[in-house]
Structure 1
Amino acid sequence: MAEGKSPGLEEQAAPEGRQWIAACLCLIIILTTAGNSLLILLIFTQRSLRNTSNYFLVSLFMSDLMVGLVVMPPAMLNELYGRWVLEGELCSVWYSFDVMCCSASILNLCVISLDRYFLIISPLKYKLRMTSCRALFLIFTTWTLAALASFLPIEMGWHEMDFDAQALNSTLELREGAAQCRLLVSLPYALIASSLTFFLPSVAISFTYCRILLAAKRQAVQVASLTTNVATTSDEPGQPRGTQNPSARTSDCRKFTTKHSKRALKASLTLGVLLGMFFVAWLPFFVANVTQVSGWNLSPSR
């Protein structure tokens, strides 16, 4: 530990009975890596998918791909051996990548929701406003904010409870003779990082989802009104018989209305499911993270 490194993999043996855990984790890593790689490849190879909106999807898939390539393998080794078996200096780097990739994933979801919101409320002006340069700028800003919330404070030691009195990269500690990679953060860091990377994006995602629902409902009402007006106009006397087919025109309008309503309902339900999964996956973690840090800082034993 004094040399800042832990025993190598060749000097350690995995505990008995943990091989099946490693197999399951390897399968998750393979599925995560392969799935996101295929999605990125699909967007780049299909000409119809190469549009501005899908730039944000590529950024999201890239953040999830990095989780599978960089974050999950060391986590699997941690679970398999019950200790940190890599170089000691890599502990803080690993945690920095972990925080950056997860933050980038959440921020990408926020940008995607905002992009869909602008596309729905102003479809005619969307292509003029959301250019490729602006989309790339938003993606760059997303990753920059994620990096600033991870690498900068962790590598500089600003995340620590008393970073003036502690050495940098003190995420690696010795517990019961084994090196453990732990990220102990201060309350200000937990509050600021959680707010920038989860709570504020969650408010933005919830706001845009509600506005999308209202816009879809309003458009459905407008289409239904248009259908009624067309049907009424078709039934007016005095029109030439050759140019009039009220039944067919009304039927077509009704089909269009039904198709539009179903599509809006399907999109709303999809967004609702994604939003629900998002909160179920992340809300307990961030609440527990802030609560745990608050309890630690307020503990009388400290």
Structure 2
Amino acid sequence: MDKVLEEQEPLNTVEKIVIGLILSLIIVFAIAGNMLVIVAILTDRNLRKTSNYFIVSLAVADTLVASLVMTFAVANDILGYWVFGETFCNMWLSFDVMCSTASILNLCAISLDRYIHIRSPLHYERRMTPRRTLAGVASLWLLSALISFLPIQLGWHRLNQDDLDFDDHFSCLLTLNTMYAVISSSVSFFIPCFVMVFIYVKLYQYARMHVKNIKRTWATGHPPPPCSGSANQPLESNRGQYKLQDHKAAVTLGVIMGTFLFCWVPFFTINIIGSFCGTCIPPVVFAIFTWLGYLNSTMNPVIYSIFNVEFREAFKRVLTFRQCCQRLCYRTDYDFDKPIRTNGAAHGIEYGTVNSPNYQHKKNKIKTDAITDNLLSEKITSV
């Protein structure tokens, strides 16, 4: 996917150093972040579960983008020509398309997996078995390979035979004919993007519906008594908590989709435009938008892992070389069927049983927190 700077004034030494340092930092953070995700999942048994198979696959794809694609793209863009030979040029372009496509398809698979988990938690384990999940991962990579290696190695992507001419200072460009540009862009981005937008809109609507149901219950039922002794505390503060959960759901989904669209929409838009009018897009714009897409591989570990409390704890253990782990404590539905011990008697209030309004309020609030805070986490079913 790399569009090299072509027919422009060469970069001076200072510009090469500055650009090289910036792009190198992107590569280092991408490799380090995604490797941290992989190591955390492999070494933490809390994370070795079926729902994280797609996370591992995403991290592998992004690591390959950084190590096999970005590293050579830096040299190609700064020098302005390809120095690694004709054979490796086609191989590099194939890896570029395959790994970038695999990254996007894995993002789509993660969103679908989260949707199934949140909407059908009781049937999730039966539907998403390890075998089916691994088959899904393999299918994503197979589709990515078919859309990249097959047409590029056979030359189906080229505009014309002039692209076959190589000299000592040729540019390794992915010049696309219109048919391949439309098909590959649709499979690699536009279809997965539509699926992701649809799923995350549905998830946000589901989170808002859940919050509204709790608000309705609050309005028609009995408000929970104060547990801290401050009987004058405004009831509006509890309603404000529900508004906060609604806001957090919007922010979480906004970060997920906003980052994805910001990184990839510009590239795939000019990718198709360029296939119709190759001279309409300045080469420097292709280069900038290409690296903007690569940047998504650096951001994915942050968005899909660090926002998850389990991953944060696992990262701390990996970075501090602590092997053994304390399991995170999550109350299950079974736990909610048991009486809870509180200091309610001190206030003359009996709210430590499942039938009390305050207890049901707390249970609903915990589930609301889970829906809004753990849209990327399997722990959605543990409340």
Band the TM-score falls in, shorter-chain normalisation: 0.7 to 0.9
- Say if 1:172 and 1:181, in contact at 8 Å, map to a contact too: no
Unpaired runs of 5+ residues, structure 1, are 1-13, 233-244
- 1:125-274 equivalent positions in 2, closer than 5 A: 125-162=123-160, 166=161, 170=163, 173-174=166-167, 178-228=169-219, 231=222, 247-248=226-227, 262-263=244-245, 265-274=247-256
2:56 paired residue among 55, 58, 65: 58
> Which residue is 2:380 aligned to?
none
Superposed CA offset, 1:153-208 (max 9, x none): 0001111234xxx49xx56634xx62211121111100111111111111101110
Q: Which of 16, 19, 41 is the matching residue for 2:17?
A: 19
* Structure with higher RCO (Cα < 8 A, 6+ apart): 2
Residue 235 (structure 1) aligns with: none
List gaps (5 residues or longer) in structure 2: 1-10, 228-232, 281-383
Residue 120 of structure 2 aligns with which residue? Answer: 122
**Does the CA contact (< 8 Å) of 2:83 and 2:169 recur in 1?**
no
In structure 2, relative to structure 1, the CA distance for the partners of 1:254 and 1:142 (3 Å cut) is: farther
Q: Which piece of structure 1 moves more, 272-281 or 190-199?
A: 272-281
Distance 1:171 1:45, change over 3 A: farther
Count of matched residue positions in the alignment of Structure 1 and Structure 2: 265
The 8 Å contact of residues 227 and 254 in structure 1, kept in 2 or not, is answered as: no
Name the residue aligned to 1:283: 265
User: AA paired with 2:76?
Assistant: N
Quick one: which amino acid aligns to residue 155 of structure 1?
Q
Give the Cα separation in 1 of the matches to 2:186 and 2:261: 14
Contact 1:220 1:257 in 2 (8 A): no
CA contact (8 A) 1:216 1:264 kept: yes
Percent of aligned pairs with the same amino acid = 39
Amino acid at match of 2:46: S
Change (3 A) 1:173 1:195: same
**What's 1:67 paired with?**
65
Provide the TM-score with structure 1 as the length reference. Answer: 0.78
Provide the residue aligned with 1:294 in structure 2: 276
**RMSD of aligned Cα (Å):** 3.0
Deviation at 1:112, TM superposition (A): 0.9
CA distance in 1, matches of 2:79, 2:141: 32
Aligned residues of 2:108 and 2:196 also touching (Cα < 8 A):
yes
Name the amino acid aligned to 1:173. Answer: F
Contact 2:31 2:67 in 1 (8 A): yes
Structure 1 letter corresponding to 2:38: I
| Length-normalised TM-score, structure 2 | 0.62
